[in-house]
Amino acid sequence: MKKLILSGIVALSALGVSMPAWAQELSFWSWRQEDKAQYEKFIKAFEEKNPGVTVKFETFEATNYNTILSTALAGGSGPDVLFARAYGGLENVANAGYLLPLDKSNVPALENFAPAAIAAETMRSTKVTYAVPFASQTMLVIYNKDIFDANGLKEPETWDELVQASEKLKGAGIMPFGNGTATAWQNEVMVGGIASTLMGRGFYDDLMAGKADFTDKRYVEALTKLKEITKYFPDGFIGLDYASSQQLFASGMAGMFVGGSYELANFKKQNPDIKMGIFAMPGMKADDEKLVAQYFDGGYAVNAKTPHKEAALKFVNFLASQEFGQMFADELNNISAVPGVSFKDPLLAEVAELNKNSIPYIMLVHFRFGEPSGSVLLQGEIQKLLSEKATPEEVGKNLTTGLAAWYEPFKK
């Protein structure tokens, strides 16, 4: 009997050793623990079409993902295919030569992606793309439709209408906004969701052209308005953390929530009965262009040192396909970056519609390439603004002088 087991083990391990010859297992790392079930499904669809290649999806806690990935790659190991961050976060990993360059020769579908999406996964200095972008996120205002209907409110067309709506909700004993700003990065979200329309496309274009900096009147004015509307945030909102603020909205205690489009799926999960609508923040006048702030989340990259390069590229090509993009949008309720995807979920379709009038989520997209990063500066400065420790003018000045440390156009 013992002999039988032993020979069984030997036979099995022999099989294990010879496996790679005809079947390849790719490891695929991600920071989206909450999407594991959906990814297993996508992978199954891939494996059915590509016999001989299996994919093992492994997830890590989002806040530690960079550290774990960095350590693995630096140690010469790591996954075959991986989730890569966008913008500055991508450059950190790509700079070190750990990722395989992707272009139309090995991933033909990349050619049809939106330029802004490709730019998110491209090194600025070398113009080499390293990942297939997966999703975009949009900073906007989410509102509770039942609360709006019960109070006879509709989506505001002007700033004054927004203030009136807030007053009405407050009078009815409902928190107009559920947001809190104790969690640092939420402050940046407030600027993207509230101030994009107010600063306007003209300011953004001038900023990029080097004709304006953050001391510009349009930017300072937008921050002044942002400060004004926080009058309708919950009591003590500067001490309210992100998780609590989400709960205020999801539980129906607050009428509106300034946040990313990624919140929609999350709110639905927390409260399946909630009916939500979205709008872009209005400007002072009804015909001001209403803008949302958009950025790309990350992409799928290939480890440059993978022993299964061919299989990994096959998989990444699948991740760039419209078939995958559609599944991604349907299953994960996210705006897929793959061109030509249609959105069944009406809210998602609306986000895609709002994206047509958008400016980039400025600090993340353009100012995370040096230290101090624009995001770090902005988050801290807005916390100062909201706790009366700085005026909008001072915030604009501190952002500009802080970024001048590495951002050439601001150097005097």
Q: How far is the CB of 194 from other proteins (least distance, A)?
A: 18
Residue whose CB is less far from other proteins, 84 or 337: 84
Q: Are 133 and 120 in contact (CB under 8 A)?
A: yes
Q: How far, in Å, CA of 210 to CA of 13, rounded?
A: 63
Rule CB under 8 A: is residue 371 a binding residue for other proteins?
Answer: yes
Q: How far, in Å, CA of 410 to CA of 276, rounded?
A: 41
Q: Are 120 and 365 in contact (CB under 8 A)?
A: yes
Q: How far is the CB of 270 from other proteins (least distance, A)?
A: 17
Q: How far is the CB of 130 from other proteins (least distance, A)?
A: 12
Q: How far is the CB of 381 from other proteins (least distance, A)?
A: 8
- By CB under 8 A, name the one of 9, 14, 172, 405 that touches other proteins: 405
Q: How far is the CB of 240 from other proteins (least distance, A)?
A: 5
Rule CB under 8 A: is residue 235 a binding residue for other proteins?
Answer: yes
Rule CB under 8 A: is residue 121 a binding residue for other proteins?
Answer: no
Rule CB under 8 A: is residue 74 a binding residue for other proteins?
Answer: yes
Rule CB under 8 A: is residue 128 a binding residue for other proteins?
Answer: no
Determine how many CB atoms are found less than 10 A away from the CB of residue 315. Answer: 24
Rule CB under 8 A: is residue 277 a binding residue for other proteins?
Answer: no
- By CB under 8 A, name the one of 9, 10, 19, 62 that touches other proteins: 62
Residue whose CB is less far from other proteins, 108 or 239: 239
Rule CB under 8 A: is residue 140 a binding residue for other proteins?
Answer: no
Residue whose CB is less far from other proteins, 87 or 279: 87
Binding site for other proteins (CB under 8 A): 62-63, 65-67, 70, 73-74, 85, 88-89, 91-98, 180-185, 188, 234-241, 244, 248, 368-369, 371-373, 375-376, 379-381, 383-384, 387, 389, 402, 405
